[in-house]
Amino acid sequence: MRLVLVGTSHHHAPVELRERVAFGKDEARAIAERLGSAVCLSTCNRTELYVETEDVEDAERRCVEILAELEPALYRLHDQAAALHLFRVAAGLDSLVPGEGEILGQVRAAHEAGTGGRLLDRVFRHALHAGRKVRAQTAIGESPASVSSAAAALAEQVFGDLAGCTVLLVGAGKVSDQASRNLRSRGAHIAFVADSKTDRARIEEELARADVVVSSTSAPGYVLDAPTVERARSGRRLLLVDLAVPRDLDPAIHELAGCYLYDIDDLEAIVAETLAGHRSEAERAEAIVAHEADKFHEWQASLDVVPAIASLRARAEEIREEELAKAEGFLERLDESQRRAVESITAQIVNKLLHLPTIRLKQAAAAADGVIYADAVRHLFGLGEDDD
């Protein structure tokens, strides 16, 4: 069984492309069901399809059909490379904000909504373990930079001093709460928080008084368009930060006089500046993730030889029982303790004979020779020939 990953992220596609394949929970679950044994991981920064399959080319083709709009920006990874990528994602090492903790919950939710079999279940559980291990053994997640803190830093760069600066928050979720705390800590005044129940007239009213707008809803279309902003602002200076994917704010707003619009991709440079001190922790985290990926690779590789090992042991046990049956005339003269001793001795002989071949088969699997060794064992011991 093979592991296939097809997807894109903020490293490969700008937000105007990523928003086209930003799937909600129900859509992600439906996609996983459509692909068969699969998991769909869709966040602000990435959309990735993980598939457990026997046919790599067919799985890739079906994934590309779903993500066709982003085909030039898609990456394709298999087996160990796909697992390593997922482990880095779960550990927060592939995020726009390295070390951010929210991704671990998103990976868990995607796994729970998926339709994966044994291989996918194993790789996602291992990824979650790797993510938790990185957080426990490194400081990469301590006071990490975030897009919300980057938004506040950007506002401070534009206005110099945020004391007395009026902020309109559009969206009432976790990202909005984080933005509110970061802006308040820098002296800004949160004048109003609009949610899905706030009517458009009230938002326009607050927009007319705001110096900064930070938007982070899950709306499928634009929450604010250029004509609305132009009507409310009349040329007054306004900083707008769009943290949503799909985007909340019409890109045309940036063309309006006095309006400065930034989306989530624009914040990457600000985030990078704040992460310089985390490099040593990131290196430690990368080492942990690489080690965990190697362990998963060994497990996956062993799947190629496990059937051969099981068949070999079953054949050896069958021979042992046949030989004991032939000696039944002698064995029936033994008392119960003596019969148990014979059973134990013959079982130990089988186990000791097969111990080293079993270890060597597993070692060969980890070195990519497992299939060759497994085939050799089947041939030498005639395993499966009776079935044929």
Among 140, 87, 113, 119, smallest CA distance to 31 is for 113
Interacting residues of 376 by C-beta distance below 8 A, sequence separation 6+? none
Q: In what helix (H) or strand (E) does residue 34 lie, and over which residues does it extend?
A: helix 25-35
Question: CB under 8 Å to 164, separation ≥6 — which residues?
Answer: 187, 189
Give percent helix, percent strand, percent coil of the chain, each to the nearest 5. 60, 15, 25
Sign of CA dihedral 197, 199, 203, 206: negative
d(CA 53, CA 76): 14
Q: Is 44 among the residues known to form the active site? A: yes
Tokens of 206: 């607050």
Determine phi and psi for 47, rounding to 5 degrees.
-135, 120
- Options 40, 44, 165, 259, the catalytic residue: 44
Which residues carry out catalysis? 44
